[in-house]
């Protein structure tokens, strides 16, 4: 019996098994990516919304009636219905405790108190908030924005 070529076949079996293992690993990773956990863009959504509102206030003339809902949303290029449907929150005040304040320039959404909860920072069920302060014409504006939008994959 001649066994001189048998070693080559045994080495090929290892490469065949390696390729099968890599293929199985690719299938498992692909399924996990498609059907895995939902994306969470709440923090970046609220940051972008806060930036847009700050930019709008800084680049527009603040006169009487600017914070009237129709004027404000048109001037800032925001769609109120889209913001409400997607669970966004906006509150603009002149007081430092804007989250808890009952006097505000404009408010959209509710449950602003959850922005101050310590446990809400790690909990995925709570909205993520962004709080900023700007000054224009010697008037301070405190802007609180939040997002509780959950992005769901349609696979």
pLDDT digits (tens, 9 = 90+) for 78-96: 888 888 888 888 888 887 7
Sheet holding 139-147, edge to edge: 106-108, 88-93, 139-147, 128-136
Q: Is the pLDDT higher at 74 or at 101?
A: 74
Give every CB contact of residue 102 below 8 A, 6+ residues apart in sequence: none
pLDDT digit string, tens, across residues 111-141: 777 777 777 677 777 788 888 888 888 888 8
- What pLDDT shows up at residue 20? 95
When pLDDT is averaged across residues 52-56 and rounded to a whole number, the result is 91
* pLDDT at 152 exceeding the cut of 70: no
- What pLDDT shows up at residue 26? 96
Q: Are the CB atoms for 103 and 142 separated by under 8 Å?
A: no
- What pLDDT shows up at residue 8? 61
pLDDT digit string, tens, across residues 14-35: 888 999 999 999 999 999 888 8
- What pLDDT shows up at residue 115? 74
Q: How far apart are CA 109 and CA 121, in angstroms?
A: 19
Question: Alpha helices of the chain — where are they, by DSSP H?
Answer: 6-35, 42-59, 69-76, 80-85
Helix then strand count (H, E) for the chain reads 4, 4
């Amino acid at each position: 019996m001649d066994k001189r070529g048998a070693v080559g076949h045994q080495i090929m079996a290892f490469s065949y098994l390696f390729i099968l293992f890599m293929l199985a690993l690719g299938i498992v990773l692909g399924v996990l990516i498609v059907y895995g956990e939902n994306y969470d863009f709440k923090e970046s959504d609220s940051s972008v919304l806060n930036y847009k509102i700050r930019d709008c206030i800084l680049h527009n003339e603040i006169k009487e009636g600017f914070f009237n809902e129709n004027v404000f949303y048109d001037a800032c290029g925001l769609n109120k219905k889209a913001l409400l449907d997607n669970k966004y929150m906006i509150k603009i005040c002149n007081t430092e405790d804007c989250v808890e304040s009952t006097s505000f320039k404009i408010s959209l959404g509710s449950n602003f108190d959850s922005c101050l909860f310590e446990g809400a920072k790690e909990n995925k069920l709570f909205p993520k908030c962004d709080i900023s302060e700007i000054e224009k014409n010697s008037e301070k504006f405190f802007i609180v924005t939040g997002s509780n939008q959950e992005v769901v994959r349609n696979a």
